[in-house]
Structure 1
């Protein structure tokens, strides 16, 4: 995935001004990418490495010549197979006041300051929107499996850094972090110990790690039954979280496990 990663974590805008249609297919009425094929000659397909062969992306590079006077190069997606992440944005925070309050509570738990360097792992677009508009920060990095979600975020917020990859492998150039939002921990294919080991290395003393779900454990279990390819685990119980945190220099400073809301806050105390 290194070629696409290099594109995703570029500090320049992910979507070029001209010609934007060459990099991504046009959006349909609902803001989703319509399946399309761009004219290209000498097109080459690259099956990108993925832990799950069925989730491999087919990316192509082509050169098109529409006329004798104009020649240009183009990147385009020929066949992009992605997991379905739409269930993360089931509740529209613009219309659901209760959902908005929960999102705000999650963000407040991070105690963001203007100098904060923030990591959001597997966040919904709506959650990232709210983080961007909640308070200024020094850096916001969004890590996600989905190229489409990252592309939409980067198109709206050029200042937000986007990286397609695993949270345990975040490049050092963006670290250390003051605040980490593990917005959808059950989608991470790692043991809790592995995640905390990586975060302990990438966070500053006193950093806050916020694990959350605005609809709670029961909804996560339903999501796991409906989307087993995406939701691979459940939210950790308090005793499990406390034990893992203590093993890696973290302290659980807040824990809520209610029927319709889950929030756990860890603080790094080396």
Structure 2
């Protein structure tokens, strides 16, 4: 097969949780451009609809939109039932959804810790557990879990300005769990032909942060070997690789898209 054929997702059905978010939007754009039917799941109902309209206009993509709370098993079950009724199977699951509060170790509450772990780690487990039967109906099932560079390295405390821009201890702990869960799933789901890989971005600060704290952004940029922060479009190549047959002999891997941050 040539490279174009390996990356062709025409006829594939892909679900992206948190698909209308900062990183999720670029993930959905990638899948749409490669020909997949893109199912956008989010806590919001309006943002996925707006993104779906744009994907249709720009890429001619077929889309579906769903409201889901990945921390609620019944909500995930309802999402799975809808996808099964409408499409009969799922070929690609991208566990991308995230939310949480900025916190230092001193400021984080027990409630914030539990919430962050519930969304970032338990949400990945919930979606994979419930949606896996749909993946087994695919000829080439793939799971991609969005982790983080902070799942395998620690934040440098000197870079952060108090609570407002801090990286909470719950975030890295959850993302480390996602990386290990990815390896576990790659092993135990291989019998059913499901490939499972992780993608670890960093640093990808929100546009609002970029506008508010230029000095902080400069410190992030200086930390990366490539001398800049990440842009969501920087993920597109890795997403195309991991979601397609271009990675057909890869499973259990964690691909870092971090500008070389973790090298030193």
Common fold by TM > 0.5: no
Rg: which structure is higher?
1
- Which structure carries more strand by proportion? 1
TM range (shorter): 0.3 to 0.5
